[in-house]
Structure 1
Amino acid sequence: MAKQTYDESSIQVLRKLEPIQLRPGMYTRTTDPTHMVVEAIDNAVDEAMAGHAKNIEVILYRDSSVAVTDDGRGIPVGMHLEEKVPTIQVVFQVIHSGGKFAKGEADSSYKFTGGLHGVGVSVTNALSTRLEVEVKREGKKHRIVFAEGEVIEPLTVIGNCGARNTGTTLRIWPNTKYFDSPLLHRGELEHLLRAKAVLLPGVKVQLNIETATGFDVKEWHFHGGITQYLDQMIAEDEPIAPTFCGEKYLFANETFSDDEGVQWALAWVTGSGGGESYVNLIPTLGGGTHEAGLRDVVFNSVRTFAEQHGLMQRNVKLAAEDVWSKLCFVLALRMIDPSFSGQTKEKLSSREAVKLVAATMKDPLDLWLNAHVAEATKIAEQAIKNAIARGKTAKTVERRKGSSVAVMPGKLTDSELTGPDAELFLVEGDSAGGSAKAGRDKETQAILPLRGKGMNSWEVEQSQILANQEIHNIAVSLAIDPHKLDGDVDMSALRYGKVIILSDADDDGSHIQALLLTLFFRHFPKMIQQGHVYIAQPPLFRIDVPAQGKNKPLRKLYALDQMELDIVEARLRQEGVKEDSWGISRFKGLGEMDAVQLWETTLCPDTRRLVRINMGDVAETVGTFDTLMGKSHAGERKELIATHGNEVEADI
């Protein structure tokens, strides 16, 4: 085996668009080119959202290219002061460039946009075999052409136009080598364009699809906005109350910037609920904190209405799902500085969104419910009916367990509900367990503190495994007996849908994770096979950012590791936050977090990070566990450490 050297020549610096081309999955969805085209559409939408464009057109050509046109201001074409090349070239070739980093400032080009990543159309350019850009601006038509991200036709003036005739046209040829499928997801694209029209009353959105005989044209132009859209969504269902719609934007608020707020349309139906949410017109297919805020507001308002009007029945306890399951909704959030989980922006992670939805929607919803008592009573009665049905289901499951129900461990702080929606956190140490108990959602989250590192159960006989008190407590809490992968076990008795290992972000914490994963793989394998076991990822750093005027109050950010901390600090510099004005704290362990911090970072379903454990190749996994955990494999372990020890990152 050739000797590997690690010296100055080993350090590689990626230039321009090379990071995107080397790791496209970090910047866009690689199943198909749809999202890279959406990045171009989002730029046109931002122009419309800022009030500068009234028409957006997308053309799908038979040669698999796509054109996106808007009648906005046109991308600036003058020389960039720092880069010394045309600004339009900077926009398409430099990652983290754009006109959106100064959002919220008085001279900002865009006040509300879909994010602050700054890699949007640079992704489109990097992953295209060819990209043609034409800009109408300041009475002239300009053109620049890229191939594989590089300029092949420099910026030139190709004609004249009227001074008021402005806009941008991109024609994109996606590079199929970066995608699993070369075909655009046409249904997703149509849905997206239609939604943009719904959320931008007065803006015409058009999709032209080239055929052998011409073009099929689809056009959307909604005057009724999201109310009209929701009515169409529920056209085949039967509403039990009229649609509740409205919008509210804040001014002179101590917490939020001017014009931040929410637009909404809600309808309760007899069938299944569901909805769509958007942030600055970006569709958030994965939901996120704004939907969590809506869920909280709706649940609390309906529950309060039911209690105040004497509708609650004895021994019936409403849960959020009882109210939420029959709700259809469209929610459009407007935020100056949204944060998303990943570049594809499918899930909002901004914690402030929960409070923003509450601040804008709670009072209007309370007033609407009390102004429509008959309809609100139907909504509350439907939720109560769901709660009663849920209670009967829970009792049925309890009866299946038989009469010999084990007494729950004394250390277990149980959740009010059990079943698929309930979660059990196996927490390292009593200190962290105390914070977790105080910060948890008592309705669905249970806490079981573990003492020490526990036992290596890899070579322990299954008949002897419950002799260990910690493992006995885990088994009793789950209501699942130890079993083999091919053995019989009553999985319907499982009391929690998720079992989440929560340990410190250090070597001891990793050791505890390994011991617990050994336990589940060896003695409770169907828990892993059916996707019930998770590892929580608590942050290592907290970043305290001072207030930046009225638009950006004091903020508290978190970073998972050093790499993410570097990204957060780079983002703060791009926002114009003064260097070294923010404070950085490193958590030595979970015990240092108070209840609020633990909830925000690790317990809250909308902001935490979980890794689901998969079974993988069983034979290969067994071999790995044998090497790592087997007492008779010390020699193999020593060889493994000698070979790969230099790859391990350890806290010393």
Structure 2
Amino acid sequence: MATPQSEDQYSARHLSVLEGLDAVRKRPGMYIGSTDSRGLMHCLWEIIDNSVDEALAGHGDSITIGLDPDGSVVVEDHGRGIPVDIEPKTGLSGVEVVFTKLHAGGKFGASNYGAAGGLHGVGASVVNALSARLDVEVDRGGKTYAMSFRRGEPGVFDDPNGVKSPDSPFTPFQAGTELPVIGKAKRGVTGTRVRYWADPQIFIKEAVFSLDDLLARARQTAFLIPGLEIVLEDRRSDEHVRQAFKFDGGISEFADFLASDAPTTDTWRFEGDGDYSETVPMLDDNGHMVSREVERRMHVDVALRWGTGYDTTVKSFVNIIATPKGGTHQQGFEQGLMRTIRAEVEKNARRLKVGNDKLEKDDVLAGLTAVVTVRIPEPQFEGQTKEVLGTPPARQIVANVVAQGIRERFAATGRMQKAECSLLLDKVVSEMKSRISARAHKETQRRKNALESSSLPAKLVDCRSDDVEQSELFIVEGDSALGTAKPARNSEFQALLPIRGKILNVQKASLSDMLSNAECANIIQVIGAGSGRSFDLDAARYGKVILMSDADVDGAHIRTLLLTLFFRYMRPMIDAGRVYAAVPPLYRVVVLNPGSKPNETIYTYSERELHTLLKKLEQRGKRYQDPIQRYKGLGEMDEDQLWETTMNPAARLLRRVTVSDAAAAERVFELLMGNDVAPRKEFIVAGAQHIDQEAIDA
């Protein structure tokens, strides 16, 4: 057994020094976050952002992104082109410096880019280090220059028959730098083309480029830079996809696109600037880093609108780079919003009847769709992935711009503007009152005991056990199903709550409407954990909630309405995997056995399963009772059948309801259950051809 080194044996010679791009390949997660699809996409964003920064600086008005079937990706722009001359300190061409040297590039000073997203100088070189092959072509000065790299090392690929591949024979450069001219560029044409193959030694096999993510990012960038055209081509399959995005309305158009509900206010646009100073290290004339205090100017551009819905969508950006985890600019936006709306509510407290109640952030943000953008030289991000802005002065500058803009809106004298502001205050105060009402409602709900049981709905058939982990609540469709389920259940740990018909569609209703609906209120009261923002998963009275509805169209609709209620107001139950859908059988097949041997009962859960069973019985020469019983409702079963097929934990089949992508789930619920009828009609018409008409109960 080896003994650990003692302290005096551990010296500097035991330290590993990773030079150049070796550090990136050794610890890729430090630079791109992960080596799955997320990290793969992050590499692509780095290359795209370099092209976008050129457009942002006013050079070039189009970017093309192409996904090829060999696994490579191409990004082409019409910017100024990467410099091709020799960089004096390294003696290397500008192209080689950009793609092989960490913390090298044109964005560390303010002379080349006033506001850029790529600021750490590691984006292109990191992508190069993590690529099996990278080719770059630069159009500049009437010539086309080219250079290739294998896993970050510059050299020459010998491509047989001109087919480019990362597996082609490779010869690294022996000394110096080579940037051959491979052709002529049209007069006045400049730009850069980067094509690379992600390294399978780094990225996991399942990592793929997501077309949906690319489309969303291309659309988003086109909104943020009016007039820029972004073309996306997916050539990975026979069905080529080509989509182009170009918008002239800027972030006002972006906010309208993001909003899915009817407007309460118009889209408001606030712009402003703020100055601040910061101490930053800068290169002096001798090439040494010295700290200097510099004056900065930040430009703030915000578009926001309130709608009749209740969900909040706030997208924040720094130099058009998305900051999904927010940062100081988003904190400033919320601070300015809260401060001003609170002051307006206090001014109108008598009309709004707010009493001593205070607005909270969620009351103001309900139904809000906003796009917050700042442009700033050399922003301070937290980490290379640039998901959080850390520049401290941004908070106050953004807060001031937002507060000033909202004050001006409320001070407007036009009749339409006044009515709009009045509607907004009514909505915000209504959200506050609903929150307070929901909190009071929740405080009356506790785990049952002898004194509290009378406060639960009379319809509830509760279980005896106090063990939340073991207990189950079946929400059943109607009194007929309850009549069968009551004697069928195990009363020790299974509780029953019948609902009458179809509950309220809460996707279209307000919080107060939902709470005043008897069926919805009963479900929330029985689960006992509150609703919406005040929902407390630890207070839930049951470990499982099982939706048990008939296996027909109405049953599916009722199940969808119940899932909408859970998704909107009790989402943590779904996130924790505690909501299930029961799967009752569709058919009961009685197999006839000869003589005194008892008959065998087999349940099937689909048409296909039934036909497969009947075919097997015929092959074995077995007879079965005809006609085969088809269950259209739970009430058609007797208690033994219901227990055996649907309620017995040892034999039943349950579907767990999960949400792997909350945004996608939100879109589906809005499509199926929301106010906008036209998209739902298109969805139904498009899917009509896949419906089995014989399966519809008429």
Question: TM-score w.r.t. structure 2 length?
Answer: 0.55
Aligned residue for 1:169, secondary structure, equals strand
Which letter does structure 2 place at the counterpart of 1:383? V
CA distance in 2, matches of 1:212, 1:115: 32
| 2:392 aligned to which of 351, 375, 382 | 351
Where does residue 391 of structure 1 map in the other structure? 436
Specify which of 56, 68, 73 is matched with residue 61 of structure 1: 68
Q: 1:278 to 1:390 in 2, by over 3 A?
A: same
Q: Which residue of 1 aligns with 2:196?
A: 172
Q: Distance in 2 between matches of 1:496 and 1:275?
A: 22
Q: 1:339 offset after TM fit, Å?
A: 2.1
Post-superposition offset of 1:152: 1.7
- 1:134 corresponds to: 137
1:378 aligns with 2:423: yes
CA spacing shift, 1:18–1:387, aligned 2, 3 Å: same
Mapped partners of 1:232, 1:212: distance in 2: 29
Q: Would the aligned equivalents of 2:530 and 2:536 in 1 still touch at CA under 8 Å?
A: no
Say if 1:28 and 1:344, in contact at 8 Å, map to a contact too.
Answer: yes
In structure 2, the residue matched to 1:7 is 11
Instruction: Say whether 1:44 aligns with 2:51.
Output: yes
Identify the residue that residue 260 of structure 1 maps to in structure 2.
298
Q: 1:341–1:348: 8 Å Cα contact kept in structure 2?
A: yes
1:245 aligned partner: 269
Q: What value does the CA root-mean-square deviation take over the aligned residues?
A: 3.0
Aligned residue number for residue 575 of structure 1 = none
Contact 1:296 1:320 in 2 (8 A): no
Residue 339 of structure 1 corresponds to: 380
How many Å separate the matches in 1 of 2:208 and 2:250? 31
Aligned to 1:283: 322
User: How far off its partner does 1:491 sit?
Assistant: 8.8
Check whether the contact 1:137–1:163 (CA below 8 A) recurs between aligned residues.
Answer: no
Give the counterpart letter for 1:315 in structure 2: N
Aligned-pair distance for 1:397? 3.8
Paired residue type of 1:38 = W
**8 A contact 1:274–1:325 mirrored in 2:** no
Tell me which amino acid in the other structure corresponds to 2:232.
L
- The counterpart of 1:148, out of the listed 151, 170, 173, is 151
In structure 2, relative to structure 1, the CA distance for the partners of 1:119 and 1:497 (3 Å cut) is farther
Give the aligned partner of residue 361 of structure 1. Answer: 402
Task: Find 2:217's aligned residue among 192, 205, 209.
Answer: 192
Alignment partner of 1:314 is 2:359: no
User: Radius of gyration: which is bigger?
Assistant: 2
Deviations 1:543-578, CA, capped at 9 Å, x for gaps: xxxxxxxxxxxxxxxxxxxxxxxxxxxxxxxxxxxx
State the partner residue of 2:230: 205
- CA distance in 1: counterparts of 2:357 and 2:132, whole angstroms: 61
Residue aligning to 1:233: 258
| Structure 2 letter corresponding to 1:222 | F
Q: Give 1:384 shift.
A: 1.1
For the 8 Å contact 2:337–2:399, the answer to whether it is kept is no
Q: In the TM superposition, what is the alpha-carbon distance from 1:392 to its structure 2 partner?
A: 2.2
Q: Give the letter for the 2:36 counterpart.
A: T
Query: Does 2:69 match 1:31?
Result: no
- Quote the Cα distance in structure 2 between the aligned partners of 1:88 and 1:497: 56
1:299 corresponds to 2:368: no
Question: C-alpha displacement at 1:263, in angstroms?
Answer: 1.4
Going from structure 1 to structure 2, the CA distance change for 1:319 and 1:90 (only over 3 Å counts) comes to: same
User: For residues 97 and 126 of structure 2, what CA distance do their matches in structure 1 show?
Assistant: 13
Matched, 1:326 2:376: no
Structure 2 vs 1, CA of residues 257 and 497 (structure 1 numbering), >3 Å: closer, same or farther?
farther
Give CA deviations for 1:16-66 in whole Å, capped at 9, x if unaligned: 101110111110032221110110000001101111121111011111110
Asked if the contact 1:58–1:206 (Cα under 8 Å) also holds between the matched residues in 2, the reply is yes
Provide the rounded CA distance (Å) in 2 between the counterparts of 1:133 and 1:195: 26
Aligned length: 411
Alpha-carbon displacement from aligned partner over 1:353-399 (angstroms, at most 9, x marks no partner): 21121232221221013322211111111111111122223333444
Corresponding residue of 1:17: 21
SS in 2 for 1:385: helix
CA contact (8 A) 1:115 1:338 kept: no
**Secondary structure in 1 matching 2:47:** helix
Say whether residues 1:112 and 2:136 are aligned partners: no
Structure 1 SS opposite 2:179: strand
Q: What is the one-letter code of the residue matched to 1:113?
A: A
For the 8 Å contact 2:218–2:230, the answer to whether it is kept is: yes
What does 1:65-84 align with in structure 2 at a 5 Å threshold? 65-84=72-91
Q: Which amino acid aligns with 1:31?
A: D
Aligned to 1:416: none
Q: Distance in 1 between matches of 2:529 and 2:343?
A: 36
Please tell me whether the aligned partners of residues 115 and 376 of structure 2 are also in contact (alpha carbons under 8 angstroms).
yes
Matches within 5 A, 1:376-525: 376-400=421-445
* Residue 427 (structure 1) aligns with: none
What percentage of aligned pairs have identical amino acids?
35
Contact 2:63 2:230 in 1 (8 A): yes
- Cα distance in 2 for partners of 1:182, 1:333 equals 32
Deviation of 1:401 after TM superposition, in Å, equals: 6.5
After superposition, the Cα gap between the structure-2 partners of 1:491 and 1:221, relative to the gap in structure 1 and judged at 3 Å, is: closer
Cα distance in 1 for residues equivalent to 2:106 and 2:345:
48
Structure 2 residues not aligned, in runs of 5+: 157-177, 279-293, 448-527, 538-575, 577-698
The structure, 1 or 2, with the larger RCO (C-alpha pairs under 8 Å, 6+ apart) is 1
On the 8 A contact 1:261/1:360 being kept in 2, the answer is no
Distance 1:290 1:150, change over 3 A: same
Deviation at 1:9, TM superposition (A): 2.9
- Bigger drift between 162-171 and 393-402 goes to 393-402
Provide the C-alpha distance between the structure 1 equivalents of 2:386 and 2:355, rounded to a whole number of angstroms. Answer: 44
CA distance in 2 between partners of 1:116 and 1:55 (Å): 22
Runs of 5+ unmatched residues, structure 1: 403-489, 499-529, 531-652
Give the structure 2 partner of residue 626 of structure 1: none
CA distance in 2, matches of 1:211, 1:22: 30
